[in-house]
């Protein structure tokens, strides 16, 4: 599209057009199927990888791109990049470069992301109870039994430890 040098279009009209275009792009990125809270949450969290990434951060201490790509779940780098961008855009994750290491980007959960801990732990319990017969190789341990029988205490412990570890990392 060519713009004439002596156009009658004011800068204000162009700026308003650009702002509207940007808002439309943002609206498309965060479009939801309906107003139902469950469906809206599924629109955000219901793909194959988002909760896996959050679980890895919360329970396994994954913090760097390399940590995620080397995990047992083997997420492809293009999918990981896409999901991280979505999590950043939605305010579930922040990224940081440490003063001591300007090369590596560290990802960590925000309070909004940490608040998913009860959902992750409930999925552990549900999966253990209802899916073990379909996946006999699912882990089985005393810790898993503790998680299932002491959900509230375990969730509180996970959140406390996660926050302590992130604060230690960011203050180092």
Q: List, for residues 21-44, the tens digit of each pLDDT value.
A: 454 444 445 678 888 998 999 988
Confidence of residue 145 (pLDDT cuts 50, 70, 90): confident
* Contact between residue 131 and residue 138 where contact means Cβ atoms under 8 Å apart: yes
Q: Kind and range of the H or E element at 143?
A: helix 142-149
Nearest 10 degrees: Cα torsion 80, 84, 85, 89 = 160
pLDDT at 80: 94
CA distance 100 to 113: 25
Nearest 10 degrees: Cα torsion 81, 61, 88, 159 = 160
Could you tell me the residue ranges of all domains in the chain? Answer: 38-171
Q: pLDDT by residue (tens digit) across 63-101? A: 999 999 988 888 899 999 999 999 999 999 999 887 787
Kindly give, in sequence order, each residue whose CB lies less than 8 Å from that of residue 95, ignoring residues fewer than 6 positions away. 84, 88, 105, 106, 107, 108
CATH fold label, 38-171: Arc Repressor Mutant, subunit A (1.10.10)
**Average pLDDT of the chain to the nearest whole number:** 82
Nearest 10 degrees: Cα torsion 121, 126, 127, 133 = 150
pLDDT at 24: 44
pLDDT at 132: 84
Backbone angles phi, psi at 94, to 5 degrees: -120, 155
Q: Does the pLDDT value for residue 3 go beyond 60?
A: no
């Amino acid at each position: 599209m060519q713009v004439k040098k002596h156009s009658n279009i004011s800068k204000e009209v162009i700026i308003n057009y650009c702002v509207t275009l940007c808002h439309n792009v943002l609206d498309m990125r965060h479009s939801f199927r309906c107003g139902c809270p469950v469906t809206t949450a599924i629109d955000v969290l219901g793909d194959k990888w988002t909760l896996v990434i959050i679980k890895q951060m919360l329970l396994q201490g994954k913090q760097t791109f390399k940590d995620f790509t080397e995990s047992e779940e083997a997420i492809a780098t293009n999918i990981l990049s896409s999901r991280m961008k979505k999590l950043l855009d939605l305010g579930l994750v922040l990224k940081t470069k440490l003063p001591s290491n300007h090369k590596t980007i560290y990802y960590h959960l925000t309070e909004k992301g940490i608040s998913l801990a009860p959902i992750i732990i409930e999925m552990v319990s549900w999966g253990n109870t209802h899916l073990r017969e379909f996946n006999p190789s699912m882990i089985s341990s005393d810790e898993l039994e503790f998680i299932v029988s002491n959900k509230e205490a375990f969730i509180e412990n996970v959140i406390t430890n996660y926050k302590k570890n992130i604060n230690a990392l960011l203050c180092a």
